[in-house]
Copies of this chain bind each other. A is one copy, B any other.
């Protein structure tokens, strides 16, 4: 059983501030915790129903394991539907080294947690080598991001910092961005080693990042009305562009 104090303590991790000072984040639900168990991340606290614990006898070393009712798990959960399992996990401590190889995704102020999670899932699928997040991106350990990533958060290397600093470290890599006035992505030259920058949902790229872009890409529209004011959702556009980078280097360039 979970004490009121424990419940209160675990709920503090719903807030970004606690996740940052304690360097821990929440992973919840059977699907996500099973993905977690496949990683080497250290689980600080695991709270699960008797039934879930029965079905998962070989657990890795956790600092604390509690059996709890669904109602108790609900009390510490960020999700609306009842869950069987909830975990508090230490953020990975190993520093990822920036590498300019492969397709790199640079996110300039992505704000919506659902979009961020979906983009991580896309990055995982298309084998993006690294994801760079600008300081004004939504925190990747936001529970909504973790959930929407469907486990991709455990697999995709994510780096944080000023995008310009990363760009300065790879002067030989072409920097691309989506732009309604850009070149047709279906016919553009797309090198295997590239940086693709995606901007904020409402405002697009920030002024300082715009200056760094070398190539602008456009996903052709086939609208019957011919209007071009509306754009694709940023995650959808990321998927189509990543698909093209990978297709060209798989099929066309061999």
| A52-64 to B contact mask, C-beta < 8 Å, 1/0 | 0000000000000
Q: Other than A125-B219, A126-B222, give 13 A-B pairs with Cβ distance below 8 A.
A: A121-B233, A121-B236, A122-B236, A125-B222, A126-B221, A127-B222, A127-B223, A151-B230, A187-B251, A220-B246, A236-B236, A236-B239, A239-B239
Give the docked Cα–Cα distance between A219 and B126 (Å). 9
Q: Is B239 a contact of A124 with CB atoms below 8 Å?
A: no
Of A155, A220, A243, chain B has the most CB atoms within 10 Å of the CB of A243
Closest chain B CB from A153 CB (angstroms):
12
Q: In this assembly, does A235 line the interface, its C-beta being within 8 Å of a C-beta of chain B?
A: yes
Give the docked Cα–Cα distance between A246 and B221 (Å). 9
A-B contact pairs, 16 of them (CB 8 A): A121-B230, A124-B230, A125-B222, A125-B232, A127-B223, A127-B224, A150-B230, A155-B223, A155-B224, A155-B225, A186-B247, A186-B251, A220-B247, A222-B246, A240-B243, A243-B244
Q: For A152, list chain B residues within 8 Å (CB).
A: 230
Q: For A127, list chain B residues within 8 Å (CB).
A: 221-224
Give the docked Cα–Cα distance between A221 and B239 (Å). 12
